[in-house]
Structure formats: structure tokens, C-alpha cells
Amino acid sequence: MAHSVNRRVAIPPTGPPGSRPHGGPLARGSPSGQASVMKRSRELRPLSSEHHQALLVAFQLKKGLAGHPEAAGAPKDLPGLLNLAHRFDEQLFRTHARAEEELLGTCVTSDDMARLCAEHAELGRLLGSARAAPPVELRAQLAAWADLLDRHVRWEERDLFPYAEDHVDPATLTRIGGELETRLMAARGESKAARR
């Protein structure tokens, strides 16, 4: 199905050139290992925009946990890294995940929906475990959370969203896009007000 697609989304590769991304077909883009560039429909752009933020948080956590926080602008200690993940979860991810599940749920396969919900739940579980973890276990919990967040976002961008864009009729996709924009903008406004 043809949709108005006019924005490109760059998703850096995660494995060796030509390898399969987690759970899906070969990524679109150059087999040379350069960033894959995908077209994204206007309707799903609000989610893709937030995915860029998610990838940045995962990157910052990974660098911070590896002892290179200055390379990513990440906090330098474990409590700071935990706070970064917690703020991302509260201010963006919870609303984002709920919107994906509720609005894309009828537009994707039952297997993809099951994976979407399971990974969202696992991200919540891992972060909850990290909050309660003694310092000796906190590093491993945060690393697992950052790794899953990174893989999850890449799967959605490379597999789930292209499937939805190809299989959802334009009117439904437009309705979904409008509702996404409304929900995500409202959540951002509430988050800003809470920080004041």
C-alpha cells in the first residue's frame, strides 16, 4: 500500500555488515555497515522521533557503564545512570509504549504484538529490578535494560513499523498518526509541567 513517505530515519547498524538485525530480515540500506536509512511515514514519525531519544539513552548508559561517560554526556556514577534510565521511563517511555500497544495493536501480526508487549513488560521489569538492586547487581541490571532498549527500538524501526506502513490502509494510518501526536504531545506537556 502506498503512503506519503517523506522523511528518512537513520538507524546505525548493530552487527557485522550483512547480518540480520535481532528478529528480522536484513536491514534496509547499505550492506557496507553504514547506517541504514529508512523512509518513515509522517504518521509514525512521532514514535520514530522518540526512538532516537531511546537510542541515545541506551548509548549513554552503555558508555557510562563501560567507564566512558564523557564520550556520551552520561552521568559518571551508577546512581546517576539509574536516574537517567528512570527519568526516561517516566517522562517518555511509559506513554510511548502504551501508545504503541493500543494504537498499533490491531495493525500488526499477533506474534509481533506479543513480542511488542513482552519486550515493553521486560523493560519495565528490568528497570524495577535495577531500582531495587544492591549496588553489586545494579550494573548488570542497567546493562541488560540498555541492551534490550536498543534491540527493541531497532526491531520496531526495521521490522514492525515498515510492516504497519505496508499493511494499514491510509485512512487508518492517518487516524493512528493523529492520535499518536495527541497522546505524545500531551505527555510531553505534562512532563515539562512536572519538572517545573
For the chain, give me the number of helices (H) and strands (E)?
7, 2
Give pLDDT tens digits for 87-102. Answer: 999 999 999 999 999 9
Query: Would residue 16 count as lying in a domain?
Result: no
Domain of residue 186 covers 42-195
> If you average pLDDT over residues 125-131, what whole number do you get?
96
The mean pLDDT of the chain is: 82
Torsional class of 110: left (φ above 0), alpha (ψ -120 to 50), beta (otherwise): alpha
Query: Would residue 8 count as lying in a domain?
Result: no
Give the DSSP letter of residue 106. T
Query: Would residue 140 count as lying in a domain?
Result: yes
As for how many domains the chain has, the answer is 1
Q: Given pLDDT bands bounded at 50, 70 and 90, which one contains residue 191?
A: low
Give pLDDT tens digits for 23-82. Answer: 333 333 333 334 444 578 889 999 999 999 999 999 999 999 999 988 888 998 999 999
Query: Would residue 118 count as lying in a domain?
Result: yes
Query: Would residue 55 count as lying in a domain?
Result: yes
Of 179, 165, 163, the closest CA to residue 46 belongs to 179
Query: Would residue 37 count as lying in a domain?
Result: no
Task: Please determine, for residue 176, whether its predicted confidence score (pLDDT) is greater than 50.
Answer: yes
CA atoms of 174 and 176, how far apart (whole Å): 5
User: Which of the residue ranges 65-69, 70-74, 124-128, 129-133 would you say has the lowest mean pLDDT?
Assistant: 70-74
Neighbours of 32 (CB within 10 A): 8
Under 8 Å between Cβ of 11 and 162: no
Instruction: Give me the residue label for grid cell 537517567.
Output: 84
Query: Would residue 134 count as lying in a domain?
Result: yes
CA atoms of 166 and 154, how far apart (whole Å): 18
CATH number at residue 139: 1.20.120.520
Query: Would residue 36 count as lying in a domain?
Result: no
Neighbours of 25 (CB within 10 A): 10
Cross-strand pairs, 38:
9
Q: Given pLDDT bands bounded at 50, 70 and 90, which one contains residue 193?
A: low
Confidence (pTM): 0.77
